[in-house]
Amino acid sequence: MRAVVIDDSGFMRRAVEKMLASDPEIEVVGRGRNGLEAIELAKTLEPDVMTLDIEMPEMDGLTALRRIMRESPCKVVMVSSLTTEGSVAALRALRLGAADVVAKDHSTFSIHIDDIRDELVHKVKALATEAKRVRSAAKRPRLAGKPAAFDKPTGPRAKDVSLAGQRFELVCIGSSTGGPPVLERVLPAIPAGFASPIVIAQHMPEVFTQSMARRLNELCPLEVRHGAEGDEPAPGTITICPGGKHTHLKHVATGRLRLHVTDEPAADVFKPSASVLFESAAQACAGPVLGVVLTGIGEDGKRGAQAIRDAGGTILAQSADSCVVYGMPRAVDDAGLTHASVDPDGLARALASLARAAA
C-alpha cells in the first residue's frame, strides 16, 4: 500500500510517516510540504492514499485537493485541526472529494498519539484496499451488460425503491467514511411534513458533528439538530448524534423517544456506533424502524441491522458503486439483511416517498 504524506510541519510529516510505517503493509513513497508538491507527487507517484494537511503555505490543502481530484485522483485523507474552523474546512474537503478526515489536536497530540495512529492506519489501509480493488476490477474483462468497476454485491440492487404506504416510527441512518457528502445529497430532498423522526450516527468527533448539523440545517427543509443527553427526537426533525460517544434511544412515559448519550459500550470503537443506535431503536420503538446504512469502513451497523430486521423493520443500504468504501453496506448485504441497495439519489427518492404518503 503506497502512501504520500503532505504537511508543512516537519514534525508532523515525520510523525505521520512513523505512524504509517508502523504497519508493514504500508510504504510511504513520498513526502511534501505544501499543496503544489502534493499535486506533483499525486501525478508522478500515483499513490493509493495521500494524507493532506489543510493549512499550508504557497498552496493550501483545499486548493490542492481540487486539482488532485481533477488531474490525478487518489484516495485522500485530510489531516484537520480539532476546532470549529478545522471541522468546517474538513467538511468542505469531503465535498471536494476527500475520502475521510483525521482530526489532530496540537495540545494533546503527543498524549493521544497511539489513538491517532490506530485511526490513521485503519483508514489508510481500508482506503488503499478499496483503491486497489476498484483498479483491479476495472482491468478485468467486462461481460456484456455487466459493470466492471466493482465486485458483485450480494444484496438486492434497485434503481428506485418506493416506501409509499408504509409507516415507520423512526428512521435511523448509519454513516462513516464518505458519508457527509451523501447526507448532504439525500437529506435536502426530504420535504417538510415528514412524519418520522430521523436520527443519524456519523463517525466523527463532536466538533465535526456540530458543524455538520449546522451545515445540514442550512440545506434541509426539515429542522436539523445536534443531539444531546435527554433530547426527544420529534417527527419531522433530523437529529445528528454527538460525535465521540454512543447514542442510545430510550422509550419514555410520554410515548416519545429520548436520547441517552454515553461512552458505553466501550467495545464499540466507532463512536457514535450505528449498531448501538439501531439496536436501541429496535428495542425502544413499538412500531417498525427504517434503518439506512451508508458508505463506511468496517461492519458497524450489521449487528444493529439484524436487530431492526428481527423487530419487523426495513433496511436500505447504499449501493456498492456509489460508496467511497463499500464496507458497512457490504456487511449488511452479505448477511442478507438488506431489502434493497440503492444509490444516494435513490435513497433520497425512497425517503421522499414516505413524506408523500403521509401528506
Catalytic residue among 8, 203, 211, 322: 203
- Grid coordinates of 327: 464496507
Residue 300 designated active-site: yes
Catalytic residue among 72, 80, 176, 322: 176
Catalytic residue among 8, 53, 100, 300: 300
Residue 203 designated active-site: yes
Residue 53 designated active-site: no
**Residues annotated as part of the active site:** 176, 203, 300
